[in-house]
Amino acid sequence: MRRAFWRSLQLRVVTSTMVVSMAVVAVLGVFLDQQINTSVLNARLRAATSEAQADRIAVLGFLSQPDGEAAKQSGDSGKSLQNGGDSPLSQATTALANRAGSASRYSVIICNRRLPGACFGTTNVDERSVTEKMRADVVKQDAGKNSLWYGDLYYKDSSEPVPGLVLGARLDTTGAPQVDSDYEIYHLIPLDKEEKTLNAVRQMLVVVGVALVLLLAAIASLVTRQVVTPVRLTRQAAERLAAGRLDERLKVRGEDDLARLAASFNEMAANLALKIHQLEELSQVQRQFVSDVSHELRTPLTTVRMAADLLYDAREDFDPMAARSAELMQNQLERFESMLADLLEISRYDAGAATLDIDSIDIRDVVLRAVADSEALAERHSTRFDLRLPGEPCMAEIDSRRVERILRNLLFNAIEHGEGRDIVVSVGADRDAVAVAVRDHGVGLKPGEENMVFDRFWRADPSRARTIGGTGLGLAISREDAMLHGGWLQAWGMPGEGSQFRLSLPRVAGTELRGSPLPLVPPEVEMRRTWRGQMTPVLTPAAADGGHDAE
């Protein structure tokens, strides 16, 4: 899922849109819920406060009149919470019950603080709805001032409490001095209907929010698709163009930026195809020229070679100058033949006509033959070979002629740049591969030259005179030979440390090479690197002061 997320621009845009939309919808939903909740409760509270004020005036009227008059006003139809007495308090609660109409609107409880248990209520409200804490808070308040609580309301015909609010106050008896000032009146307003309404509103907000998020995601997907689809088609066309399908083009629709992008891509593809076609023609002409020249030169070279051999064999009968000329001509003809052979080999690789003559051979024997062919040249350069061969056979399916040519090129190159120092030739093998490493201790390679050394006609130091000669194609042909085997030819070098070339080949022809049994970096160099990395310079005080006695 993580890979699909990072690979798809459309998925990232849609996901980001959904996350941002969910955050915005959640914030708006919470804000709207709070505003609606506050508005509903405030409206209910304002209505309850107004009714509570009117009820208090009515209660004071009942309490300040004689019992007979109060009974006439109440209609003798109410019942007290405690008993059915005809006291002014009971008559007042009966009248308030008639005003409220039903318990779903509001209920009233009137208490006398001086008389324990003297509480009268409308309808079937339970005294438990008014707690001792509420009564204590009312006592602390001034007469006529409201105290508000949110809590549970209890009714005698229901075992489950109902959420609601309680509005309590002491009766303000300043206008009726004959009334006891210890009366408390509590209005109990149930909020169950409001709660159901708010729950329905919340559910609607959730449904609308989810629908809005999905709608925004669909819109983002649709809008993004209009941009991503042309970009995706352009990417696919670029991949096919990179794969060699130079006739790949995009359809241009409209005149917007994406259409101009498609037109620019088509123009780029056309120019690229033209340039590649021109380069292919030029390369074909060059390859054909090299092949033709190489083949055409062999016939006159054969005639010249025959004449040169006759002169070389009869050089003892010539005067010293003519004899020396015969020897020089013989050497240069050998070099010329080597150059023609290299050019012909390169032309075969360019034409894809190179093939392998596979045989199961001990790689040690191939190394020994290559070293034997290089002994004479090594002696002329005062160079000695240090062979490090395993004691067991290292069999591999290879073309011995090509592998031997690779090793000769590596040995000649090591002799050329080894500055007369010993050349180490190592052979290694494991279950899947065999490897040969040729190590010299000469000038080495600069950083970045490890790959350039295999380019055709490339020389590390053009100002340095050749001592062996050659065409500059030896390492290029060697790399082609290694790749034809499915192997590797790699180079390592460092100024002042020399260089090492490693040839790695699979034991079984046609199998994939996954590793090499020999390291590319010489072990002694790697050991010095590790040792230097672990060492911490320590200076004595004398050394820190510039003295000469520090060790």
With contact defined as beta carbons under 8 Å apart, do 134 and 119 qualify?
no
Confidence grade of residue 79 (pLDDT, cut at 50, 70, 90): very low
Cα–Cα distance measured from residue 187 to residue 165, given in angstroms and rounded to the nearest whole number: 8
Q: Which residues have a Cβ under 8 Å from the Cβ of 48 and sit 6 or more positions away?
A: 106, 165, 167, 187, 189
With contact defined as beta carbons under 8 Å apart, do 55 and 99 qualify?
yes
Cα–Cα distance measured from residue 332 to residue 321, given in angstroms and rounded to the nearest whole number: 17
Helix (H) or strand (E) holding 151: strand 147-155
Confidence grade of residue 503 (pLDDT, cut at 50, 70, 90): very high
State pLDDT tens for residues 119-172.
Answer: 777 767 787 888 888 888 887 877 767 788 888 888 887 778 888 888 888 877
Q: Which residues pair with 186 in a beta bridge?
A: 109, 168
Helix (H) or strand (E) holding 339: helix 320-351
Q: Which residues have a Cβ under 8 Å from the Cβ of 287 and sit 6 or more positions away?
A: 347, 350, 351
Buried b (16+ CB within 10 A) or exposed e, 62-95: bbbbeeeebbebbeeebbbbeeeeebbbbbbbbb
Averaged pLDDT, 89-95: 70
Give the E-state strand segments of 430-497 in sequence order: 433-440, 488-494
Topology given in CATH for the domain delimited by 11-199: Beta-Lactamase (3.30.450)
Cα–Cα distance measured from residue 57 to residue 173, given in angstroms and rounded to the nearest whole number: 10
Alpha-carbon torsion, ordered 79, 85, 86, 89, to 10 deg:
-80
Dihedral of alpha carbons 288, 293, 298, 299, sign:
positive
Query: Is beta strand 385-388 parallel, antiparallel or unpaired with respect to 147-155?
Result: unpaired
Confidence grade of residue 536 (pLDDT, cut at 50, 70, 90): very low
In this predicted structure, the answer to whether residue 57 has a pLDDT above a threshold of 60 is: yes
Same fold, 11-199 and 359-462+470-534: no
Helices assigned H by DSSP within 393-470 = 400-417, 449-452
How far the first Cα of the chain sits from its last, in Å, is 60
Q: Which residues pair with 437 in a beta bridge?
A: 426, 502
Dihedral of alpha carbons 303, 304, 307, 309, sign:
negative
In this predicted structure, the answer to whether residue 531 has a pLDDT above a threshold of 80 is: no
Buried b (16+ CB within 10 A) or exposed e, 302-312: eeebeebeebe
pLDDT of residue 289: 73
Q: Tell me the C-alpha to C-alpha distance, in Å, between residue 49 and each of 70, 174, 462, 510, 528.
A: 24, 20, 105, 96, 93
**Least confident piece of the model among 325-339, 363-377, 413-427:** 325-339
Contacts by 532-538, CB closer than 8 A, 24 or more apart:
none
With contact defined as beta carbons under 8 Å apart, do 170 and 198 qualify?
no
Helix (H) or strand (E) holding 361: strand 359-362
In this predicted structure, the answer to whether residue 493 has a pLDDT above a threshold of 70 is: yes
pLDDT of residue 80: 36
State pLDDT tens for residues 263-312.
Answer: 888 888 888 888 888 887 877 777 677 667 766 777 787 888 888 888 88
In this predicted structure, the answer to whether residue 105 has a pLDDT above a threshold of 60 is: yes
Domain 257-351 has CATH 1.10.287.130: yes
**Token pair of 394 as six digits:** 């290292």
Confidence grade of residue 426 (pLDDT, cut at 50, 70, 90): very high
Confidence grade of residue 71 (pLDDT, cut at 50, 70, 90): very low
CA 173 to chain centre: 78
pLDDT of residue 411: 92
Helix (H) or strand (E) holding 462: none
Averaged pLDDT, 10-19: 84
Topology given in CATH for the domain delimited by 359-462+470-534: Heat Shock Protein 90 (3.30.565)
The more confidently predicted of residues 262 and 384 is: 384
**Least confident piece of the model among 193-202, 295-304, 509-518, 538-547:** 538-547
**Closest-CA residue to 57 (of 149, 152, 144):** 144
DSSP state of 127: G
Helix (H) or strand (E) holding 87: none
Cα angle vertex 534, ends 528, 536, to 5°? Answer: 115
Percent of the chain past pLDDT 90, that is, above it, reads 13
Averaged pLDDT, 223-233: 80
Cα–Cα distance measured from residue 426 to residue 390, given in angstroms and rounded to the nearest whole number: 9
- Residue 243's φ and ψ, nearest 5 degrees, are -80, -5
**Closest-CA residue to 161 (of 200, 134, 188, 201):** 188
State pLDDT tens for residues 349-358.
Answer: 766 667 788 8
Query: Is beta strand 385-388 parallel, antiparallel or unpaired with respect to 423-429?
Result: parallel
Confidence grade of residue 88 (pLDDT, cut at 50, 70, 90): low
**Token pair of 231 as six digits:** 């970009």
Averaged pLDDT, 522-539: 66
With contact defined as beta carbons under 8 Å apart, do 396 and 360 qualify?
yes
In this predicted structure, the answer to whether residue 509 has a pLDDT above a threshold of 90 is: no
Q: Tell me the C-alpha to C-alpha distance, in Å, between residue 39 and each of 44, 49, 150, 198.
A: 9, 15, 16, 11
pLDDT of residue 385: 92
pLDDT of residue 364: 92
Torsion-angle region of 66 (φ positive above 0: left; ψ -120 to 50: alpha; else: beta): beta
Domain range list for the chain: 11-199, 257-351, 359-462+470-534
pLDDT of residue 438: 93
In this predicted structure, the answer to whether residue 257 has a pLDDT above a threshold of 70 is: yes
Q: For 163, what's the count of Cα atoms within 13 Å in the CB-facing half-sphere? A: 9
Helix (H) or strand (E) holding 385: strand 385-388
- Residue 524's φ and ψ, nearest 5 degrees, are -70, -35
